[in-house]
């Protein structure tokens, strides 16, 4: 005769064998988890939304315009593909603008960054009233580009400008600052340096102040002079900030517009001198778009300038990275050498202590 358990007892035994069921999360818990996972994307979404509207869309639309015949007043024309690029690359005025842009960029960016590094280093040495000095170097940046251009246009006036008057005091005849190609580039570069040197100096100063002072003290104890500490400690340590300053200076220098536009307003349309001797690429683009009303070729110039900026920016990044890391191994080797000496000293002291303890224990055992 087979005995069977009552139904209630069988259900209790089956429930005892099965594991406890996982409780279903409440809607509050699911909402909290969704908020935790999605909130970071919501925080950064406004930036990407604005970038897409004012940055990415205009860039894509510029490419679209560059492959069409596009009149400023009539609007979109026929599709021409790379025809606008071929026309621009075969235009001597375009290459003249590229030469002027690169010349002004080199005459402004290299001295600007060198002086900015020097000014930042001097401000980092602990001058009296540091706030006043920092505000003083930033004042030129606050002045609008139009005001700076008008002031320096008067200074470099060929008839009675301050620059020629100062040269006359030392026996140099008047110079054609607005008609000579090289001199006009120097004058515009001076305008750019006047406005941007202090701004870059403060950015570099903020990076220098984050350098640990222990590194300078250790290097000074080892006999390193100020120049040695600057090139072996400061430059490698502020490398990311230095690369940032170089790239921003490259972008701004290759997009220069206001200074050459207002440097000599006496020329027709202000397109960069009577013989286009200081017409930059952006000025050439502006002439194509609003004087010749050819938005297709102007957009092609914008795309080519964009590629030029990216290429020079990459080159500057690689060069600055190589220069900044070139002096780092020497400092690293010195630091490793000091650490190795300290470790050897500790190991020697530890070994001597262990030998002394062993000798003492042996003597006690002998006694």
Low-confidence winner among 14-18, 52-56, 268-272 (lowest mean pLDDT) = 14-18
* Number of residues that make up the chain: 367
For the segment 316-329, the average pLDDT, to the nearest whole number, is 63
For the segment 148-152, the average pLDDT, to the nearest whole number, is 87
Percent of residues, the chain, with pLDDT higher than 90: 22
Low-confidence winner among 245-249, 263-267, 307-311 (lowest mean pLDDT) = 263-267
**pLDDT at residue 284, rounded to an integer:** 92
> How many CB atoms sit inside 10 A of residue 187's CB?
26
d(CA 299, CA 312): 20
Position 329 confidence tier, pLDDT thresholds 50, 70, 90: very low
**This prediction's pTM:** 0.74
**pLDDT at residue 221, rounded to an integer:** 85
CA dihedral angle for residue 100, residue 103, residue 106, residue 112, rounded to 10 degrees? -70
**Packed helices 239-254 and 181-208: angle between N→C axes, nearest 10 degrees:** 150
d(CA 114, CA 108): 10
For the segment 226-255, the average pLDDT, to the nearest whole number, is 87
Is the model's pLDDT at 356 over the cut of 80? Answer: no
E strand or H helix at 37, and its extent?
A: helix 27-51
Low-confidence winner among 8-17, 47-56, 258-267 (lowest mean pLDDT) = 8-17
Position 147 confidence tier, pLDDT thresholds 50, 70, 90: confident
**If we measure between CA atoms, which residue out of 119, 67, 122, 130 comes closest to residue 296?**
67
275-290 pLDDT, tens digit per residue, is 888 899 999 999 898 8
Is the model's pLDDT at 255 over the cut of 70? Answer: yes
Q: Which DSSP category does 140 fall into?
A: H
For the segment 148-166, the average pLDDT, to the nearest whole number, is 87
CB 258 within 8 A of CB 248: no
Percent of residues, the chain, with pLDDT higher than 70: 79
Residues ≥6 apart with Cβ < 8 Å to 88: 94, 297, 300, 301, 304
For 246-262, the DSSP string reads: HHHHHHHHHT--HHHHH
**pLDDT at residue 158, rounded to an integer:** 84
For the segment 93-121, the average pLDDT, to the nearest whole number, is 92
- From residue 78, alpha-carbon distances to 57, 66, 81, 290, 303 in Å are 22, 11, 9, 20, 19
Is the model's pLDDT at 233 over the cut of 90? Answer: no
Average pLDDT, the chain: 80
CB 214 within 8 A of CB 252: no
Report the SS3 class of residue 70.
strand
Is the model's pLDDT at 327 over the cut of 50? Answer: no
**If we measure between CA atoms, which residue out of 181, 200, 301 comes closest to residue 250?**
200
**pLDDT at residue 76, rounded to an integer:** 85
324-327: list long-range contacts, CB under 8 Å, 24+ apart.
324/235, 324/236, 324/239, 324/242, 324/243, 325/236, 325/239, 327/231, 327/232, 327/235, 327/236
Work out whether the CA dihedral 75, 80, 84, 85 comes out positive or negative.
Answer: positive
HSE-CB for 43 with a 13 A CA cutoff: 6
Is the model's pLDDT at 168 over the cut of 70? Answer: yes
Token readout for 40 is 């970071």
> How many CB atoms sit inside 10 A of residue 41's CB?
9
Is the model's pLDDT at 186 over the cut of 90? Answer: yes
């Amino acid at each position: 005769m087979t005995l069977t358990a009552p139904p209630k007892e069988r259900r209790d035994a089956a429930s005892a064998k099965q594991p406890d069921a996982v409780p279903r999360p409440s809607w509050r818990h699911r909402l909290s988890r969704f908020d935790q996972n999605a909130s970071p994307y919501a925080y950064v979404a406004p930036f990407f939304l604005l970038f897409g509207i004012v940055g990415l869309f205009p860039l894509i639309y510029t490419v679209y315009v560059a492959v069409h015949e596009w009149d400023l007043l009539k609007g979109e024309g026929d599709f021409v593909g790379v025809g606008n690029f071929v026309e621009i690359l075969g235009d001597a005025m375009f290459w003249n603008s590229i030469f002027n842009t690169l010349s002004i960029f080199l005459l402004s960016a290299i001295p600007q960054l060198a002086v900015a590094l020097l000014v930042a280093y001097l401000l980092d040495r602990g001058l009296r009233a540091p706030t006043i000095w920092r505000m003083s170097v930033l004042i030129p940046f606050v002045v609008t580009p139009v005001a700076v251009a008008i002031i320096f246009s008067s200074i470099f006036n060929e008839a009675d400008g301050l620059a020629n008057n100062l040269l006359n005091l030392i026996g140099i005849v008047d110079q054609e600052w607005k008609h000579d190609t090289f001199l006009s580039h120097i004058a515009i570069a001076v305008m750019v340096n006047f406005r941007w040197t202090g701004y870059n100096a403060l950015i570099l100063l903020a990076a220098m102040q984050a350098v640990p002072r222990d590194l300078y003290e250790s290097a000074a104890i080892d006999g390193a002079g100020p120049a040695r500490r600057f090139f072996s400690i400061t430059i490698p340590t502020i490398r990311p900030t230095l690369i940032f300053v170089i790239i921003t200076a490259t972008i701004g220098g290759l997009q220069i517009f206001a200074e050459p536009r207002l440097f000599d307003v006496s020329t027709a349309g202000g397109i960069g001198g009577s013989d286009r001797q200081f017409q930059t690429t952006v000025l050439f683009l502006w002439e194509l778009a609003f004087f010749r009303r050819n938005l297709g070729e102007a957009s092609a110039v914008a795309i080519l300038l964009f590629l030029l900026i990216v290429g020079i920016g990459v080159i500057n990044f690689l060069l600055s990275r190589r220069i900044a890391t070139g002096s780092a191994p020497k400092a690293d080797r010195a630091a490793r050498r000091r650490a190795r000496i300290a470790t050897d000293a500790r190991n020697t002291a530890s070994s001597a202590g262990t030998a002394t303890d062993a000798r003492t224990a042996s003597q006690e055992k002998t006694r």
